[in-house]
Amino acid sequence: MIKIEDLHKSYHMGNNSLHVLKGINFHVKEGELVSIMGSSGSGKSTLLNILGMLDEADEGSYILDGVPIKNLNEKVAAKYRNEFLGFIFQSFNLINYKTAVDNVALPMFYSGMARKERVEKAHHYLEKVGLADWSHHLPSEMSGGQKQRVAIARALASEPKVLLADEPTGALDTRTSYEVMDLIQGINDEGKTILIVTHEDDIAHMTKRIVNLKDGVIIDDSPVEQVRAQQYV
């Protein structure tokens, strides 16, 4: 599903440059649930943003579901991004003046889906994340955990091949984090490929494989015995 070979990325600021990713090699198969760990500043978000086609590497190759991701024009990149990828962020990134159902339906509006279909789909995915009764509420009326569930429903609604989550539990208390991980594990059980950036060890152990980044290289990449979040919620 994802093949990354010898990936490099630097940031340039005036005369200074910062070499953030220094030769990353990393393959992910369909159906995997992988965490990317590393201390703050180790390049986790940079890597996830490249995987999410929100940024481009300087060197190396990236193949997503058989498609080489390189030098795509913005229109083609946007098409692949919509087709292949769903995003979940630490800060939820919901639109505050839109209800849950409208937040979930909005990306489908941009991809040209008819209103009836996108509203039906939005309700379906809100039900899937346990928020059927909250569809007409605004984000300001919801808890952090509920907001992240709306964001997960929004990511799922486009039926992406891969879900990318950058510290999805970073703004949540422990119990709520485990509830969100329980949901993510259930989505992975159904076969969805999911990558999660986290710096929390307990969250990483709820995935099936931990990739450790340090100083721009992968220092460890190992399968783990998955801890089920269900037992804590």
Instruction: Say if residues 47 and 36 touch (Cβ distance below 8 Å).
Output: yes
Residue 18 CB coordination number (10 Å): 13
Helix axes of 144-157 and 115-128: crossing angle, nearest 10 degrees: 130
Reported residue count of the chain is: 233
- Count the site residues for Mg ion by CB under 5 A: 2
Q: How far apart are CA 65 and CA 73, in angstroms?
A: 18
Q: Is 41 in the site for ligand ADP (CB under 6 A)?
A: yes
Binding test (CB under 6 A) with ligand ADP, winner from 4, 7, 35, 38: 38
* Residue 44 or 81 with smaller CB distance to ligand ADP: 44
Contact between 46 and ligand ADP by CB under 6 A: the answer reads: yes
With CB under 6 A as the contact rule, which of the stretches 34-42, 59-67, 187-195, 217-225 interacts with ligand ADP?
34-42
162-166 and 193-197 beta bridge pairing:
parallel
Give whole-number Cα distances, 118 to 95, 98, 163, in Å: 17, 15, 20
Question: Which of 93, 111 has the CB closer to ligand ADP?
Answer: 93
Which does residue 46 bind out of ligand ADP, Mg ion, none, counting CB within 5 to 8 angstroms by kind? Answer: ligand ADP
Q: Which residues 6+ apart lie within 8 Å of 59 measured at CB?
A: 6, 7, 8
Interaction of residue 50 with ligand ADP, rule CB under 6 A: no
Q: In this chain, which stretch among 35-43, 90-98, 117-125, 140-148 interacts with ligand ADP, using CB under 6 A?
A: 35-43
Nearer to Mg ion, 45 or 193 (CB): 45
The reply to whether 16 sits near ligand ADP by the rule CB under 6 A is no
Alpha helices in the chain (DSSP H): 44-51, 74-84, 100-110, 115-128, 144-157, 174-189, 201-204
- Quick note: the x/- pattern for Mg ion over 38-57, rule CB under 5 A, is ------xx------------
70 burial (CB, 10 Å; 0-12 / 13-18 / 19+) is exposed
Q: Which does 73 bind (CB under 5 to 8 A by kind): Mg ion, ligand ADP, none?
A: none
40 binds, among ligand ADP, Mg ion, none (CB under 5 to 8 A by kind): ligand ADP
In the complex, the residues that contact Mg ion under the rule CB under 5 A are: 44-45
In the complex, the residues that contact ligand ADP under the rule CB under 6 A are: 11, 13, 18, 20, 38, 40-46
